[in-house]
Structure 1
Amino acid sequence: MRENRKSKKNDTASFGELWIDYSGRRIFYRNQEVVLTKTEFDIIELLSLNSGRVFDREHIYTSIWGYDGLGDSSVIAEHVRRIRGKLSRHTDREYIETVWGVGYRWIG
């Protein structure tokens, strides 16, 4: 008899007082919602589901827009800046670390 496993990701995750609802695509800090765009959430989802792993901008870009995206990976830095700005309205804790010369990682 085989074990029946779902390949579904966790529906929620918490990082201190930051709570991510993956299925609802919403983020809360101390029960207050942090409003994000679809792309901002996609970046947080990729990084937080792989906490500690470093992703370069190109990998993040292709994960979100695919290989046929009409832009370039430099747009990722701007999205990360916006995410940090939105989170900083609620907390002074950094959740996305820049690994200079490499990319970004979730350090929640």
Structure 2
Amino acid sequence: AQYQRSDACKELMAQKIRSLLDRTAVSSLARASESGAVLQAEHDARKQAALALQVQQRDRKVAEVKEQAASRQAAQLCQAREQQLAKELHAQMAVAERSQDLPAKARQR
């Protein structure tokens, strides 16, 4: 009877030890899993920050290119307007010269 109690006691102790080991293993796995999740979250956050920086740099470059294009277009419009004004001025000067020449020719007759 004592052997049976002793065996039962040993079995009970073995079950408790196995249960404790199982809980410890599950706890360790949970901590490892949490640690892995934290590492993954940190990795994802760094990746997102890098992507956000790339998008920001691309947006700045696009804005620069648009600004340069607008500046070139404005310069072209100014140049075209200057040319138009120069043509109009030459035309007005030619008309003025002809109108001055007319009275002189009329007097010569």
TM-score by length of 1: 0.19
Name which one, 1 or 2, has greater alpha-carbon Rg. Answer: 2
TM-score by length of 2: 0.18
Higher normalized helix content (fraction of residues): 2
Higher normalized strand content (fraction of residues): 1
